Each structure stands twice: as C-alpha cells, then as structure tokens.
C-alpha cells in the first residue's frame, strides 16, 4: 500500500488534506519508482492546495513539490541505480511514501549532501546554490 496526503478539493490545508492509502502501482515504461525519504512543507506546497494555482493544478491530487527519495525500481533504459538518492521533479506529489516519476525528471543527489539540505533543492535554485557553496 501507498500512503499519501491527498486533497480532493481546494481549501485550507488543515481542512482538505487527508491521509489516504491506495494500492502500490508499479512504474510504467520510462518511469522510476522512488521511496520517499522526506519532503518539506513550503509555501510552494501549501499555496496550490488553496486553489491559487487552479489554472495549473486541479484536485484530486497528492500534495507536495519537493522531496528526496531513493530509487527502488528502475530499468536498464534509465540511467539510475537501485538505492540512488534523487530529487523526483514533476512527480505526482511528494507527500507520499512511494512515487513513480518519469526518469527524465529525476535529479541525482550526491551522497555527500545531507538529506535535510538535498530535499529542499528544487523549488528555490538560488537558495540551493548558496546551501551547496556553504
């Protein structure tokens, strides 16, 4: 089973988010399955739940844009190894245990970058650059 924080309608996060379980779906061709390590809560995660970006996203959907995970299923056609840490960009929401993501949108994360730094590396690229330089 896959547990995820879903919103079925727009509204305040505390009113519309619910923890739901769904069957774990295997990745399709061109996808990698990632077991999420952690995902932060940022304004960029919460604002879409309110409906502010209704022109881009619509419920029902899993919340979350940033996060860090490890590859658990891949294929020979994709250049990711089992256990590799990745940022799953453009997945179906990072606030879930397991995420299927198109291989072209995964960003490998070097092992020498701490999890709590790496998981915030997608949304604010300038802040990421500063974090990595320090």
pLDDT band at 132 (very low <50, low <70, confident <90, very high): confident
The domains of the chain, with CATH numbers, are 2-133 (3.90.180.10)
Between 86 and 128, where is the model more confident? 86
pLDDT band at 117 (very low <50, low <70, confident <90, very high): confident
The alpha helices in the chain, defined as continuous H runs, are 13-16, 43-50, 115-118, 125-133
Q: What angle do CA 13, 31, 54 make, to 5 degrees?
A: 30
Number of H helices, E strands in the chain: 4, 8
- DSSP letter assigned to residue 81: -
- Give me the mean pLDDT over the 95-112 stretch: 91
Q: Does the pLDDT at position 82 exceed 90?
A: yes
Catalytic residues, by residue number, are 53
List of residues 6+ apart from 91 with CB closer than 8 A: 34, 99, 100, 101, 105
Q: What is the average pLDDT value for the chain, to the nearest integer?
A: 89
Q: CA separation (Å) from 13 to 9, 16, 39, 53?
A: 10, 5, 16, 14
- Give me the mean pLDDT over the 11-15 stretch: 97
- Give me the mean pLDDT over the 123-130 stretch: 66
């Amino acid at each position: 089973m896959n547990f995820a924080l879903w919103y079925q309608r727009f509204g305040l996060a505390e009113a519309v988010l619910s923890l739901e379980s769904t069957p774990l779906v295997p990745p399709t061709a061109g996808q990698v399955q990632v077991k999420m390590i952690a995902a932060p809560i940022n304004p960029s995660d919460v604002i879409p739940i309110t409906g502010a970006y209704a022109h881009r996203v619509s419920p029902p959907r899993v919340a979350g844009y940033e996060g860090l995970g490890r590859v658990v299923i891949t294929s020979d056609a994709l250049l990711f190894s089992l256990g590799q840490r990745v940022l799953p960009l453009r997945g179906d929401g990072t606030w879930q245990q397991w995420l299927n993501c198109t291989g072209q949108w995964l960003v490998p994360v070097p092992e020498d970058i701490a999890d709590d730094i790496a998981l915030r590396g997608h949304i604010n690229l300038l802040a990421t650059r500063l974090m990595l330089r320090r």
